[in-house]
Structure 1
Amino acid sequence: MKQGKLVPIHNVQKADECIDFLLKRPRLEMVGLGMLYGRPGLGKTTYASRAAYARGYVYIRLEATTTPKTFAKELLQNLYRSLGMGDYLPVGTTNNIYKQCIQLLLDNEDTVIIIDEIDYAFRYPQLLGSVRDLVDETFAVVILVGMQNAMDRLNQINAYYFDRCNYFYEFEAVSKDDIRMLGTELMNIPCPESLVNYIHFNAAGNLRKAIKIMHMLEVRSKINPIPAMNHI
């Protein structure tokens, strides 16, 4: 299978629309905060990481151990890289590091920051507040990526924060059209309609499962002639 491609399936197109909308917003009237969320296996992290790599966005994946300081340090390091300023090892207090981040974002208004696994921040008000300050103090676009209940949890935790979010998109189940496009773009074997139907049925809308099935079919094709797969 071809690896690392960001195939423009439905969810990818909608997520792109989110970022495009926020980049083109009236910046003095609206902050650049958006959220992508949905069930596991629908391609949220794949989109976030690959879009960031392809387009020069800043990508940060939160972890259970992330603190406001580790977040600020990782953000500053990633900003330096994405802006072509080389590697940088942040030192100093959390506040000092964070001020450096803010200044870089003020100097580079079109910066897009994607924060994956935002659910981890829901347990730490200070970390969530640090993210909120990014959009309140700069013109940067900040995209939060979380699980299926992320939108509701954000509203429960901080209604003001929720109201600041100007775009929500919930990732949907992978459609047959998506499977057809993925098969054409990613598979190294032909993907006739019978194969599209087979993958779609067995993946049950889950992108991760669909990719695994495609890989297994390619492995099988080395043993069985491809025409025989038309009868799956």
Structure 2
Amino acid sequence: MKHRLRVVRAHLLAWIGLARMARAISRGQVDQVWLGESNAAFFGGDRFPALGVGSTVERCWVWHLGPRLMYSVARDDFTPALHRAARLLGRLPGNRDVVWIFSLGEIDIRCHLAPRVMAGGDVDFVAAYVDRLRGLLRDLGSPLGVVMVPVPPATQQFVHESFPVRGTNEERLATHGVLRKQLVEELAASSSATPRLVLLDATDDLSDDDGWFRAELHTDGVHPNDAGREVAQAALRRLLEHTP
């Protein structure tokens, strides 16, 4: 019962946050919405939004979906409630001026993909993931969305009892490379599809010479700090400047 009450409360708070974001969009006060797991919250703001949906940086909003996996989105799609919310947002004036940035995949690399990839498994689910994002963009009425490559692993381990790390550091780094390559290839292969998706790949800027998440850009091995957020924001600005 307590768990169910927590879930209901979280959903109610999220709808309050969505209503506030809708008002800001309709007033032309939103440039970006970062949608995804916890890294979306820290690339789009300086802390978690209290309601799950919120803004802590001017003209930049976060829609935190919880600990969602790229793999599970590919398999199961986003929830019906999220699609309904997206369709409502898609009717707002000013919505087409918002850049929607999707940030998922870090948990996949940290918690389940490395053993699969090291055993010779593929990451072909990326194609379905990209299709799910396009479906959500259609609901949002947006002609363009941005897919962010997950952050590279760090040598510092992020410890969370609900999300045990799978694979060695080196295996997770190799898995990141495989997933990154698949995202590049999938978006290139579907570049003529609509709505359009472009890739935000800040990996080289976020990585040290050995490929690890630079220590000065993260707080805990997973989440970017203010400097890490600015690196990603600078990469996003460059991407959008060169996107017709």
Q: Indicate the TM-score class for this superposition, using the shorter chain for normalisation.
A: 0.3 to 0.5
Q: Which has the larger radius of gyration?
A: 1
Comparing both chains, which one has the higher relative contact order based on Cα–Cα distances under 8 Å and sequence gaps of 6 or more? 1
| Structure-2-length-normalised TM-score | 0.34
Higher helix share: 1
